[in-house]
Amino acid sequence: MDTKLERVLNIFTQINNIPRKSKNEKAISDWLVKWAESNNFKVERDEFLDVLIKVPATPGYEHRDSVAFQGHMDMVCEKIPESDHDFAKDPIKMYIDNGWLKAENTSLGADNGIALALSMALVTDPDVKHPPIELLFTVDEETGLTGAVNLKSNWLESKKMINVDSEDDGVFTIGCAGGRDAKIYLDGVEIEKSNFTDSIKISVGNLKGGHSGVDIHKEKGNANIIIARLLKEIIKNGIDFGISDIKGGSAHNAIPRNCYTTIALNRDSLERCKTIISELFGKIKDEFRAVDPDMTLSLETVIYSEKIVIFHPNKIIDLILSLPHGVIYNSNQIAGVVETSCNLATVSLEDGKFRVFMSQRSSVASRMDELCNKIDSIVTLSRGKVEFGGGYPGWEPNFNSSILNEFKDSYKKVFNKEPVIEVIHAGLECGVIGAKYPGMDMISVGPTIKHPHSPDEMMEIETVKNIWDLLVEYLAN
């Protein structure tokens, strides 16, 4: 393996030895500060644990304009149901498979740990020539862009920024969608008295899932919606039942891979109920055979207790099936780009309330408002409550930007071909940072990463070297 590449991957391994789930970045933030101090770099940290490291120029480059490298510390923590991995303390276990770096039964964290590793390797390599560099590492990008949102507007001195959070080698990202979350609450659906005798746990799992921005157009299955479809079929067949538990999804920006519900019903309906569920599941699995061929169904008889609170199924199921999910609008300006989408991310019963968490994305502000108004209307009709928050701005593309033209020249010099220029539907911190630093000239690049936000996440090793070569050329020229 190339020694430069090996050094990047060694740093990435050190990063993956430190648990860094969103909102749990204290340890990785501390480690970055110590790393900067050990290299005699000036380092600052804000109250949110964002880290800014200032690296002096190499000899001969002192009078050039500074450039910022930016990435986020946190990762989406997903694992297969059988895994006993504890993201609060266990390191990510990695291995190489046919040129791809993967993790054992968990997400890899290349999104966005590789940004840290590349940046740190570049500024400590004596062979790399560069102007003054600022390394900006933010927290909690995955669950609210907290670090970027709370970033001080007078911290960065650079007028150009390289975000290392794109996931396709040879592709330059110059724009992204904005986002907004929705928390939905539905209460008053308890059954005061029930005469049920038995309970079954219905579990749908092993879906592919994926990033709710990058993968939303692939129309993968949503485990929450599939569970609701199964329960609706029971209702349509006249079987009386109640819901004692339901839980699905893991994060606002991950398409739900697993969902389960426990229902109470009468013993004489038990086998018929299982038959109805199994028959419909077979049809649903056939619908998704191309994108979710490994989808599974589990029906488990569990102990029924009269002490368990039972909920009316109708309101819960109708709300899930009424809420939007997937692509709402495709862009009518850029072919092949999703403009507006929605992810029905998590469902749960907590403290006597049915809760839904949703994530909306759009590159058009008025379309975002339209989608949120639709959700508000559906929840109002369901006699529930909705709170919108977590909003972040999109990043308006500039096809004539200086940094884009400079990167295109560097790419052609290194690879003797033209790069692909794109605007993506996923959210990037560039939109938030650009709003705090008007006029900041930005570009997003990165190695090829497949299936982010899922246990299938993997990074193509060769493309890490490609990004290294590109960045070295750009910084030197």
C-alpha Rg value of the chain to the nearest Å: 24
* Annotated catalytic residue within 74, 140, 142, 215: 74
Question: Does the active-site annotation cover 141?
Answer: yes
SS (H, E, C) 15-84: HHCCCCECCCCHHHHHHHHHHHHHCCCEEEECCCCCEEEEECCCCCCCCCCCEEEEEECCECCCECCCCC
Closest CA to 435 of 149, 53, 141: 149
Separation of alpha carbons 244 and 415, rounded Å: 59
Which residues are paired to 338 by β-bridges?
330
Beta carbons within 8 Å of 221's beta carbon, 6+ residues apart: 207, 208, 284, 288, 291, 292, 295
* Annotated catalytic residue within 111, 141, 169, 456: 141
Beta-strand relationship, 326-330 and 198-205: unpaired
Q: Which residues are catalytic?
A: 74, 141
